[in-house]
Amino acid sequence: RGTRMVIQKDKLLHFLAGAVITAAAMPISLWLALAAVILAAALKELFDWMHPSNHTADILDFFATLLGAAFIWGMYGLLH
């Protein structure tokens, strides 16, 4: 019997956000894409931290966003 991994919907949305931001900014500059996704992930977690009654700040959300960026960056590297 294998172990089943469940990905939380919130983490998946962070992953997708990182991927979309990176894909949108990469045609301009790879470094701009990296800066944009780091800034967006940090600002989102800061917003969550500042609004604890409605949001939960989570460092894993930050990393899930960066993982989405890394995925797109890796796919770009494989295809070009």
1-59 per-position pLDDT tens digit: 667 777 799 999 999 999 999 999 999 999 999 999 999 999 999 999 999 999 999 99
Task: Tell me the pTM.
Answer: 0.87
Q: How far is CA 65 from CA 3, 19, 39, 62, 80, in A?
A: 25, 8, 10, 5, 23
Give which of 71, 56, 65 is closest to 14, Cα–Cα.
65
Return d(Cα 14, Cα 21) in angstroms, integer.
11
